[in-house]
Amino acid sequence: MVTRISDRTVGLERRDFLRLVIPGAVSFASAGAALIAASCSSDRGLEALTNRDGYKRREEQQSGETREIALTAAVGEIEIAPHGVYRTWLYNNRFPGPEIRVKAGERLRVSLKNELPEGTTIHWHGIPVPNAMDGVPGVTQELVKPGESFEYDFVADPAGSYLYHSHAGLQIDRGLIAPLVVEEKMPIAAYDREYVLMLDDFLPGEPKPLPGASGMMGGEVPPYRGLLINGRLPASPAVFETKKGERIRFRIMNPSGATTFRFGVAGHKLSVIAADGRPVKPVLVDSLFIGMGERYDVIVEAANPGAWTIAAAAVEGNSPPASAVLRYTDAARTIPEVNSTTFGFEGGRVLELADLQALEPVEKRRPDRTLDLTLSGGMMTSAWTINGQAYPNADALEVSEGERVRVRMINHSMMLHPMHLHGHFFRIGETLKDTVVVPPHMGRIDFDFLADNPGKWFFHCHNIYHMESGMARVFSYV
Ligand code: C2O
Ligand code: CU
């Protein structure tokens, strides 16, 4: 079962790995033997390995080089063809910002220089960094003021597809977003080439808080001018080349301000191999939903020569789909045979949460503490709340180190909410994630996490307008 999974390449903590393959190594764990015996007889791997006694705090383990990276956040210009040139806020004058790519276990030292007219910070979305490196203004650090610098320093681990972005106000909708790829030491799948796809919504000018209430949506959508893949509108799409017979790995990321997408590649199936960076048993689908802050890695087999539309359609709002082109180098045509207006995702299998099964052991011990959170807002008021409170006028969610915490969410509003927990992965069903979409109209989602990384951890809706209007809390254990 799991013996082919090598070490930390799939995010196994070394101690878990030892427990998997060297039963003798677990004798230090009080309840170890019985648990091992029980779990080895199941085909789902181990569970309940970490109990309170065996609890171990998360620690950084550097196992590679140290990489120094300099980022400058500054006002710059971007061309969004065919609309024109816009002044906006950028990392190193690029949009999306420059990809950071390292190997699992390498240490990242990123110095951020702020040349913006306002304070900013960077959040390393998905990576369980030490709390002081988490980049949440007013929670883990002060805003980096104009003209000042800040050095982020953390070990990039585990491997996976992540994002980095500003965590100040609505700055995500300025353009302060970028991919962060932590490569596996041993690839989790075989592939011939790889592309990163950044799905985004395009807002010219300054993002402003949205008024409350109105319309069928029970909440407003910002005045976006279109949807982007890698910074390009459908009229001038990015083209991704392939050859017949290749396997392509797409890292699909949604750093957008307020758009959930349905993603698909015309004429091709998606084999999903990772969710929020964590490897899963491959599952073959035709399309998938991806909320703000989520990432999926998929393998596409290039078996259908031609030029095809890669489409990402908004679930809320009415912008036309973002699109790009998958083009076989030997294809006669360069224009997709199926364009984004006719490629409507009719039929086909859509990825569901229940399809996701982590390749690594997921723990299912009974929770030590359960928190019920009601998400609401969007009607009559511009506030978005958790249990009736709008952050920052909201109580911290107190937990204790070493606890297994269960969070049960119910969505009383008419919009969906991609809820993101900083500093931890959580178990949802049979998989691990850091962001999960809670469906509208009484949708329910439960997840568990182990409080093994002390600090103050932001937990919020990744629709930045909802976050800024209160749909956020802090899990606190120090
Ligand atoms: Cu992607 Cu709190 O952030
Ligand atoms: Cu929300």
Ligand 1 atom closest to the Cα of residue 165 is 1
Give the other-Cβ count within 10 Å of 81's Cβ: 12
Give the residue, by CA position, lying nearest to ligand 1 atom 3. 125
pLDDT at 22: 29
Model pLDDT for residues 67-110, shown as the tens digit of each residue: 999 999 999 999 998 889 999 999 999 999 999 999 999 999 99
* 206 and 115 share one domain: no
* 290 and 438 share one domain: no
Higher per-residue pLDDT: 454 or 316: 454
One-letter amino acid for residue 350 of the chain? V
Cα of 416 vs centre of ligand 1, distance in Å, is 16
Mark which of 311, 328, 355 sits at the end of a domain. Answer: 355
Tell me if residue 198 falls in helix, strand or coil: strand
Question: Which stretches of 92-238 are assigned E, i.e. beta strand?
Answer: 100-103, 107-115, 122-125, 149-155, 160-166, 177-183, 193-201, 227-229
Cα of 217 vs centre of ligand 1, distance in Å, is 24
Model pLDDT for residues 183-202, shown as the tens digit of each residue: 999 999 999 999 999 999 99
pLDDT at 330: 79
Tell me if residue 311 falls in helix, strand or coil: strand
Identify the sign of the CA torsion 4, 251, 437, 172: positive
Cα of 466 vs centre of ligand 2, distance in Å, is 5
Kindly list the strands in the beta sheet with 193-201, ordered across the sheet, starting from the edge strand earlier in the chain. 227-229, 193-201, 247-253, 295-301, 270-275, 278-285
d(CA 184, CA 188): 7
Cα of 419 vs centre of ligand 2, distance in Å, is 7
* Ligand closest to the CA atom of residue 171: 1
Q: What are the φ and ψ backbone dihedral angles of 172, each rounded to 5 degrees?
A: -55, -35
d(CA 276, CA 297): 8
- pLDDT > 70 fraction of the chain, expressed in percent and rounded: 85
Yes or no: say if 418 and 436 are a contact pair by the CB < 8 Å rule: yes
Label residue 52 by pLDDT band (50, 70, 90): low
Residue with tokens 């998989």: 431
pTM for the full predicted model: 0.87
268 lines ligand 1 (CB under 6 A): no
Ligand 1 atom closest to the Cα of residue 460 is 2
Residue with tokens 């909320």: 291
* Ligand closest to the CA atom of residue 139: 1
* 72 and 171 share one domain: yes
Cα of 125 vs centre of ligand 1, distance in Å, is 6
For the segment 448-471, the average pLDDT, to the nearest whole number, is 97
Model pLDDT for residues 100-131, shown as the tens digit of each residue: 999 999 999 999 999 999 999 999 999 999 99
- Tell whether 99 is covered by a domain: yes
Domain CATH number, residue 307: 2.60.40.420
Residue with tokens 């930045």: 464
Burial (Cβ within 10 Å: 0-12, 13-18, ≥19) of residue 333: exposed
Higher per-residue pLDDT: 39 or 150: 150
466 lines ligand 1 (CB under 6 A): no
The candidate with the shortest Cα–Cα distance to 261, out of 250, 252, 273, 270, is 252
- Tell whether 4 is covered by a domain: no
- Tell whether 464 is covered by a domain: yes
Mark which of 183, 204, 220 sits at the end of a domain. Answer: 183
Query: Is residue 442 pLDDT above 50, yes or no?
Result: yes
pLDDT at 251: 98
Burial (Cβ within 10 Å: 0-12, 13-18, ≥19) of residue 228: buried
Query: Is residue 348 pLDDT above 60, yes or no?
Result: yes
Q: What are the φ and ψ backbone dihedral angles of 17, each rounded to 5 degrees?
A: -60, -45
What tokens were used for 86? 């816009």
What tokens were used for 449? 């996490």
* 171 and 206 share one domain: no
CA distances (Å), 383 to each of 61, 333, 457, 462, 466, in order? 41, 50, 21, 15, 8
Cα of 412 vs centre of ligand 2, distance in Å, is 11
pLDDT at 347: 73
Yes or no: say if 118 and 145 are a contact pair by the CB < 8 Å rule: no
* 378 and 398 share one domain: yes
Query: Is residue 50 pLDDT above 60, yes or no?
Result: no
Cα of 462 vs centre of ligand 1, distance in Å, is 6
For the segment 432-459, the average pLDDT, to the nearest whole number, is 97
- Tell whether 15 is covered by a domain: no
d(CA 176, CA 36): 46
473 lines ligand 1 (CB under 6 A): no
d(CA 387, CA 64): 43
- Return mean pLDDT, the chain: 87
295 lines ligand 1 (CB under 6 A): no
- Tell whether 21 is covered by a domain: no
Cα of 299 vs centre of ligand 1, distance in Å, is 26
* 279 and 226 share one domain: yes
Higher per-residue pLDDT: 452 or 339: 452
* 96 and 135 share one domain: yes
* Ligand closest to the CA atom of residue 121: 1
The candidate with the shortest Cα–Cα distance to 429, out of 374, 355, 369, is 355
158 lines ligand 1 (CB under 6 A): no
Give yes or no for a cis peptide into 321 (omega within 30° of 0): no
Look at 33-47, 300-314, 412-426 and tell me which has the smallest mean pLDDT. Answer: 33-47
- Tell whether 141 is covered by a domain: yes
For the segment 328-334, the average pLDDT, to the nearest whole number, is 77
167 lines ligand 1 (CB under 6 A): yes
123 lines ligand 1 (CB under 6 A): yes
Look at 110-114, 286-290, 317-321, 437-441 and tell me which has the smallest mean pLDDT. Answer: 317-321
- Tell whether 342 is covered by a domain: yes
pLDDT at 378: 81
Cα of 463 vs centre of ligand 1, distance in Å, is 9
Higher per-residue pLDDT: 169 or 218: 169
Give the residue, by CA position, lying nearest to ligand 1 atom 1. 125
Model pLDDT for residues 3-27, shown as the tens digit of each residue: 233 332 333 333 333 333 323 232 2
CA distances (Å), 189 to each of 14, 196, 256, 376, in order? 21, 16, 27, 40
Mark which of 139, 162, 183 sits at the end of a domain. Answer: 183
Model pLDDT for residues 405-438, shown as the tens digit of each residue: 999 999 999 999 999 999 999 999 999 999 999 9
Query: Is residue 30 pLDDT above 80, yes or no?
Result: no
Would you give the end-to-end CA distance of the chain in angstroms? Answer: 37
* 174 and 198 share one domain: no
pLDDT at 217: 52
Ligand 1 atom closest to the Cα of residue 136 is 2
* 340 and 239 share one domain: yes
Query: Is residue 133 pLDDT above 90, yes or no?
Result: yes
* 315 and 464 share one domain: no
* 315 and 261 share one domain: yes
Label residue 338 by pLDDT band (50, 70, 90): low
The candidate with the shortest Cα–Cα distance to 46, out of 108, 3, 88, is 3
Range of the domain at 249: 193-355
Label residue 395 by pLDDT band (50, 70, 90): very high
Ligand 1 atom closest to the Cα of residue 125 is 1
- Tell whether 361 is covered by a domain: no
* 225 and 276 share one domain: yes
Q: What are the φ and ψ backbone dihedral angles of 16, each rounded to 5 degrees?
A: -70, -40
Query: Is residue 365 pLDDT above 60, yes or no?
Result: yes
> Domain total for the chain?
3
Query: Is residue 37 pLDDT above 60, yes or no?
Result: no
